[in-house]
Amino acid sequence: MPKILILNDSVYGSAFDLGDRITEVLADKGHSITREKAPTDDTLRQSEFDAVLAITSTTGSGDLPENLTQFWLQCQETFPVITGKPYGVIALGDSSYPEFCGSADKLDTLFQELAGTRVSEPCRIDALETPDPSEPALEWLQEWLALSGL
Ligand SMILES: Cc1cc2nc3c(=O)[nH]c(=O)nc-3n(C[C@H](O)[C@H](O)[C@H](O)COP(=O)(O)O)c2cc1C
């Protein structure tokens, strides 16, 4: 049974709601899920997982929410490699901000630096166009699972 590590952070709760939904869907498919809302660099070293999926919103000027910002800073310092493991990023944002879904770019770059396997483009969801983020996210998820061989 493939093990998926979900890193999930939010400011106002939408990305947590989406994390709930995705966890439910993956569990129904028989995947084993570990979900962390306040991960550290050690989460990548100590958790057993076959793939990592980040689900986050965007805040500030294209920034990650607080807990994932701390995680990102720690990873830049200690470099917990995830060699060859598939990773995916789902980001909520709003295209009225100049740095649309900048959080996705930050995590995409980080996971590449940590030697993860980039199986697909991050899923960037625009709150201006998509009132229910679960629809595009679940569509993206099916493709990501297939490309990751999960
Ligand atoms: C103060 C603030 C700053 C934001 N900055 C950005 C941004 O730089 N880029 C972006 O794409 N969206 C930005 N957003 C939009 C949020 O990412 C979007 O509304 C998202 O759906 C919020 O999800 P959450 O409820 O999980 O926090 C910002 C929203 C707020 C309130």
Q: How many CA atoms lie within 13 A of 79 on its CB side?
A: 2
Spell out which residues line ligand 1, taking CB within 6 angstroms. 10-15, 57-62, 92-94, 97, 99-102, 127
Identity of the amino acid at 128: L
Sign of CA dihedral 82, 105, 63, 142: negative
Give me the pLDDT at residue 21, please: 98
Name the pTM for this structure.
0.98
Phi, psi (deg, nearest 5) at residue 9: -145, 155
Structure tokens that stand for 7 in this block: 């890193």
Among 9, 10, 11, say which to mutate for ligand 1: greatest number of ligand atoms within 8 Å of CB: 11
d(C-alpha 80, C-alpha 76), whole Å:
9
CA 59–ligand 1 middle distance (angstroms):
5
**Containing structural domain, residue 42:** 3-148
**Coil, helix or strand at residue 145:** helix
Give me the pLDDT at residue 47, please: 83
Residue nearest atom 31 of ligand 1, based on CA coordinates: 59
β 123-126/86-93 pair status: parallel
CA 60–ligand 1 middle distance (angstroms):
7
CA 46–ligand 1 middle distance (angstroms):
31
CA 30–ligand 1 middle distance (angstroms):
32
CA 84–ligand 1 middle distance (angstroms):
31
d(C-alpha 19, C-alpha 134), whole Å:
9
Give me the pLDDT at residue 1, please: 81
Into how many domains does the chain fold? 1
Picking from 84, 86, 52, the residue whose alpha carbon sits closest to that of residue 68 is 52
CATH number of the domain residue 22 falls in: 3.40.50.360
Give me the pLDDT at residue 145, please: 98
Q: How many residues does the chain have?
A: 150
Residue found by looking up tokens 């093990």 in the block: 3
Tens of pLDDT, residue by residue, the chain (150 residues): 899 999 999 999 999 999 999 999 999 999 999 999 999 999 999 889 999 999 999 999 999 999 999 999 999 999 999 999 999 999 999 999 999 999 999 999 999 999 999 999 999 999 999 989 999 999 999 999 999 999
Give me the pLDDT at residue 86, please: 98
Residue nearest atom 6 of ligand 1, based on CA coordinates: 59
Contacts of 148 (CB under 8 A, 6+ apart): 51, 86, 88, 117, 119
Q: In this structure, are residues 93 and 124 in contact, taking their beta carbons and an 8 Å threshold?
A: yes
